[in-house]
Amino acid sequence: MSHPKTKIDLKNNEVVFWLDSKIYSLESIYNTAYVFLDRAYVFLDGDPEKEIEVHLKGKEELDGKKLEALQGEFLNELLNFLLRTKIAKRNKKIREYIIASALVSGLPNSFVSPNEDKETKAGWQDDPLGIAVPWEEKNQKPTGKKR
């Protein structure tokens, strides 16, 4: 892979480069641009089917080397997003399985095993631990007086 075509414009304090849309997805370019919003003004242009033109205009005055470094950081972050996207797609089924298992394990037994005998199912009204008893009733002290 070759380095993208680049133009450094010191007068406008920006670096302009072009990215091949077949290599870099538009979603990854957007995500990368978002990361750079605190350091640079980001402008995107071009044909999403062919080539994306990226303008990074420094929010501070930058010299040629710093503009080049800004482009390099952008490209590194772009590769980071591409890799994360690829790993996320590869691990999608595993994540879905883990989440489904966690959600099912949190269900009461009456939802997990619909074929169980009704007598063994605990309903929402059952309170075997006495949790639903109000605090006053649990901690009421006998007064010794009868009414």
Q: What is the mean pLDDT of each run of 10 residues along the chain (147 residues)?
A: 78 94 91 94 93 94 94 95 89 85 74 53 67 77 63
Q: What residues does 109 pair with on adjacent strands?
A: none
Task: Report residue 52: phi and psi, to 5°.
Answer: -110, 130
Spatial contact of 56 and 14, defined as CB atoms under 8 Å apart: yes
Question: How far is it, in rounded angstroms, from Cα 45 to Cα 125?
Answer: 61
Spatial contact of 82 and 25, defined as CB atoms under 8 Å apart: yes
Which domains are assigned to the chain? 6-93 (3.30.70.60)
Give the per-residue pLDDT at 147: 54
Give the per-residue pLDDT at 50: 92
Question: How far is it, in rounded angstroms, from Cα 145 to Cα 137?
Answer: 17
Give the per-residue pLDDT at 92: 84
Give the per-residue pLDDT at 145: 62
